[in-house]
Structure 1
Amino acid sequence: MDITREPWEAAEPVIGWLLDADPALRWQVMRDILDAPDAEWLAERGKVETEGWGARLFALQDADGRWDGGAFAPAGFTQQDWQAEGQPWTPTCWTLAQLREFGLAPTCACARRTVRLIGENARWEHDGQPYWEGEVEECINGRTVAAGAYFGVDVDPIVERLLGERQPDGGWNCERTNGSRVSSFDTTISVLEGLIEHERATGGSDRTREARRTAEEYLLRRDLFRRLSTGEPANPDYLASIHPDRWRYNVLRALDYFRDASNLYGTAPDTRLGPAISYLMSRRLPDGRWPLDKILRGRVWFAVDDGEGEPSRWITLRALRILKWWRRRSEESQTPQSAARA
């Protein structure tokens, strides 16, 4: 099957199902799948602050701007709690990531208030560092850059730190301070997402683009999921559709990053993404939707999917917009001469 020629009409039966969703998801369907006029999807996006999941998260916010009393972990959460419940996903850093995924308008009143209060009150549990100055782990700092850049915070100092923390093979690993000298899929994708958000906000620099290039090469050389040494999947979960991703790497997340970077700069997809695209296509259900393979263990504010093994609107949205990008950009990159030879 020629993936770039897959009929787009095959997605039409699921569009109504996608639109029958929270505004946080619906506006992205309108923009990314339906190519709705800007005024229409922007009006829908504006509802995230006051309706549905976005409004629910703000109703759960602490008076000081944080969530669940902490930056990375809830107030009073113990190691025993962690072992019994798993990693909690309710504190500030994870809630901000979810609001960014929902597409909360960064200039809305709730966003501006939250950014200010977090700057005044939130401190990282590691050593009391002010929230917007970052922590010590690259994966945490990648997410902090992504959130800060998205919500209009100056996170240049964290970016500078990350640029100096690359591994020799091109990516990042939050175990660097413990002696690691090789990159991690999980950490690398978090930093890449932060850097592309920073470039969107500031224009970036030659240094940030070079750092992204080497990190992208780290993933591309591995077909986004393989061990370089054996060619086998580096981790079974890398092939699973996980939502929300949190800090976990997977092929869908990596493809969505490459889509974002390609669209930002108008560049053609790297042909080495082909195996990952083929794998994504193979996971589509007969009815045109994609399933949710795994929900990460741990405390959440509320569910945004119907459960493991069930068709997922979030996974389906991401898969469809990746395939749409792949087809469009691939076609745009063909010259008349190369098209004639194909």
Structure 2
Amino acid sequence: MASVPVSDDVAAWLLDSDPALRWQVERDLLRAPADVWQATRARIATEGFGARLLALQDEAGTWAGGAFFPAGFDFDGPEAQPGAGQPWTATTWSLNTLREWGLDPAVLRERDTAGLIAANARWEYDDLPYWGGEVDACINGFTLANGLWLGADVDGVADWFVAHQMAEGGWNCEWVEGSTRASVRSTLNSLKGLLAYEEATGGTDAVREAQRRAEEYLLERRLIHRLTTGEPVADWVFRLAYPFRAFYDVLTATDYFRAASLLRDTPPDPRVAEAVELVRSQRQPDGTWLQARRHPGRVWFEVDVDAGQPSKWLTFHAARVLGWWDDSVHGSC
């Protein structure tokens, strides 16, 4: 039987949380019976964070009236300046959040959310149709995962990744501006969408090959190093922050490989080990992980603590990664 990767005190602390987090703690850390965590998960639509975000959906099926940015966003104004942080309130970000929290998609399907978005939302880039995707790899990764979740036709988005994969094996959201080198952030966000496609459909030969090449792109860098110099990609790769948004760090990267390993029932790649140990090294003596920073930008409401404080969300995700790794590498006890 797999071991529980948190102490009783930390488990009690994590259980005292919003249903969006509590059900995942029950299922993935405490291995509670299915009827227990399923009952908690069902509360997301009617209580706490999930209910608050659902209530902010407008009659057009969108959030903040826009696809990736709020309606009327001033691309020359203060919010668009370097360091200001992108607003996190528009439709894509709200769907990402509800999906990642585990909301039953039936709640949004009953509202015909996919159809309303198709009719009322278009990308800020070239006014492209929402479910057809955009030119940004990260945006397309989100669109693929959200479309599958809501029942939209997004097969064309999966094919987009095959057509736009770079020679190195990854993707870069700046390719349309002339970038020819892949980035770890764009590649991870693309892989997350493609993993959702694999889970929902089984994928295609071409898509699976694209996934393999992209995973290899990250693995040969051991998730954190530059291939050319061996130096860390950047300091931000070590700084954990929730909500994860579209950012890259050792926790978001290792959590992807955890999800892929479990979906495929395959052992962890040993090249993930260094990143896992960097996650482990940030565990505090009391068994928690601290919020290292807050990503700037407008939000509907806050869901986690300020920088420097113990984060329930980070503690859950980090403990889950360590539990998967230790059980897989050392064997369940």
TM-score interval, smaller chain: over 0.9
Check the 8 A contact 2:65/2:90 in 1, yes or no: yes
Check the 8 A contact 1:49/1:110 in 2, yes or no: no
- Which ranges of structure 2 fall in alignment gaps of 5 or more residues? none
Check the 8 A contact 1:133/1:157 in 2, yes or no: yes
> In the alignment, which residue of structure 2 is the partner of 1:318?
317
Check the 8 A contact 1:106/1:112 in 2, yes or no: no
1:152-200: CA deviation from partner (whole Å, max 9, x where unpaired) = 2221101101111111011101111222221111110110000000111
> In the alignment, which residue of structure 2 is the partner of 1:337?
none
Check the 8 A contact 1:105/1:111 in 2, yes or no: no
Q: What letter corresponds to residue 330 of structure 1 in structure 2? A: V
> In the alignment, which residue of structure 1 is the partner of 2:30?
34
Please give the TM-score of this superposition, normalised by the length of structure 1: 0.92
- Quick one: structure 1 residues 83 and 158, their matched pair in 2 at CA, closer, same or farther if it must change by over 3 Å? closer
> In the alignment, which residue of structure 2 is the partner of 1:238?
237
> In the alignment, which residue of structure 2 is the partner of 1:224?
223
Q: Number of matched residues? A: 328
> In the alignment, which residue of structure 2 is the partner of 1:205?
204
> In the alignment, which residue of structure 2 is the partner of 1:82?
79
Aligned counterparts of 1:237 and 1:45: Cα–Cα separation in 2: 32
> In the alignment, which residue of structure 2 is the partner of 1:339?
none
1:247-288: CA deviation from partner (whole Å, max 9, x where unpaired) = 211110011100101110110000111111111111000000
Aligned counterparts of 1:88 and 1:102: Cα–Cα separation in 2: 19
Check the 8 A contact 1:141/1:158 in 2, yes or no: yes
Query: 3-state SS of the aligned residue for 1:164?
Result: helix
- Which ranges of structure 1 fall in alignment gaps of 5 or more residues? 334-342
Check the 8 A contact 2:5/2:320 in 1, yes or no: no
Please give the TM-score of this superposition, normalised by the length of structure 2: 0.94
> In the alignment, which residue of structure 2 is the partner of 1:50?
46
Q: What letter corresponds to residue 58 of structure 1 in structure 2? A: L
Query: 3-state SS of the aligned residue for 2:7?
Result: helix
Aligned counterparts of 1:109 and 1:278: Cα–Cα separation in 2: 39
Aligned counterparts of 2:190 and 2:80: Cα–Cα separation in 1: 27
Aligned counterparts of 1:88 and 1:244: Cα–Cα separation in 2: 13
Runs of 4+ residues deviating >6 angstroms: none
1:74 to partner: Cα distance = 0.9
Aligned counterparts of 1:187 and 1:152: Cα–Cα separation in 2: 24
1:129-165: CA deviation from partner (whole Å, max 9, x where unpaired) = 2211111111111111111122222211011011111
Identity %: 49
Alignment of 1:73 onto 2:40 = no
1:111 to partner: Cα distance = 6.2
Check the 8 A contact 1:220/1:273 in 2, yes or no: yes
1:110-143: CA deviation from partner (whole Å, max 9, x where unpaired) = 6653223212211111122221111111111111
1:287-333: CA deviation from partner (whole Å, max 9, x where unpaired) = 00001111111000111111111111111110111111112222459
